[in-house]
Copies of this chain bind each other. A is one copy, B any other.
Amino acid sequence: MRFLNACLRKKTDATPVWFMRQAGRYLAEYRRLKAKYTILELCDQPELAAEVTLQPIRAFDLDAAILFADILLIVRPMGLKLRFVKGEGPEIDPPVRTEKDVARLRRFHPEEGMGAVLDAVRIIRRDLADKVPLIGFAGAPFTVASYMIEGGPSKDYRNTKAMMHASPKLWKKLMTVLSDNTADYLKAQVDAGAQAIQLFDSWVGALSQSDFERFVKPYSAKIIKAVQRKGVPVIHFGTGTTPFLKSFADTGGDVVGVDWRPHLDDARKIIPASQAIQGNLDPVHLLLPRPVLKPLVKEVVRRAGGKKGHIFNLGHGIIKETDPDTVKAVADWVHDWTS
């Protein structure tokens, strides 16, 4: 299939297109469900998660579906409380900061701790009937650990960076239990039917190159390798990764996600030829009038240097004010230009 071939840098008939957060609030059909259910209810009821996952696949000509779930669900079977507070995002209370907090974190069996997500994967695969492949995902351990330690979103990750530097052994323990759980969870997604995996390290760009290499890279690399041994490709995504893009690529993803900041041809020179790239339209550009947007989309395709080993996507997720017709138009343009 087009998307899976691109992940492996094989020839494709056109550049594959999907969008981060393609299942989400910009879609009226999603908002109708969201009016009735909370995010956690949508994630915890496999039929609903499957329905949300499939909404954009029905609406647009996309080359992959991505599981609807949340990167923080994994903290619950580890023994933490997760809430979503309106207007403030996720809250993990109490945060994980001491030896005792980390020692309490549980290893869990994915079918027990994350059974609803795995059931959703099975339903989606059945309903997709091989129309397009399904991408499973998890949060990368740095981004998830940062929420666990800060207790929610953070501007400067001060507690997370404090644990890294002032309590490196504790950081190691936390990252180890989190990585092991994440690897098991992703392998179980593959067993349930996921055909590719994206590891989301959304906030890793807050780190310096030194911090990334010392405190993050070994754990993400181990997860990526564990998933690849199951025979599926891994997309490694982060924003703000340009300051350590070579290290980020060397973490080992089959596909390296690139945010909107660098020129894709510059990124292509840094990322080894053996790896595919994914990106990198600025998500806010989808708010522009169609004639203004079109050349910006074209520039991304041009700088990708041909369809081989390029997966078209945004540099981050679709924002909720986006017009669904624009999403449709972009997918169609990219397919037209590259086929």
Contacts and interface: CB of A to CB of B under 8 A. Distances in A.
Contacts of A112: none
Interface in A202-245: 205, 207-210, 240, 242-244
B161 A210 contact: no
A81 interface: no
Given A208-B261, A261-B207, A288 B165 contact: yes
Interface stretch (A49-57, A95-103, A278-286): A278-286
B161 A284 contact: yes
Contacts of A162: 284, 287-288
A222 to B, nearest CB: 24
A87 interface: no
A165 B242 contact: no
A305 interface: no
A266 B245 CA distance: 13
A188 to B, nearest CB: 34
Interface in A271-318: 282-285, 287-289, 292, 296, 299
A162 B282 CA distance: 11
A262 B165 contact: no
A201 to B, nearest CB: 15
B208 A288 contact: no
A336 interface: no
A242 B319 CA distance: 25
A137 interface: no
A156 B319 contact: yes
24 contacts: A156-B283, A156-B319, A158-B284, A158-B287, A158-B321, A161-B284, A162-B284, A162-B287, A162-B288, A166-B288, A166-B289, A207-B261, A208-B260, A208-B262, A208-B263, A209-B261, A209-B262, A209-B263, A210-B263, A240-B240, A240-B261, A242-B242, A242-B243, A243-B243
Interface of A: 156-158, 161-162, 165-166, 205, 207-210, 240, 242-244, 260-263, 266, 282-285, 287-289, 292, 296, 299, 319, 321
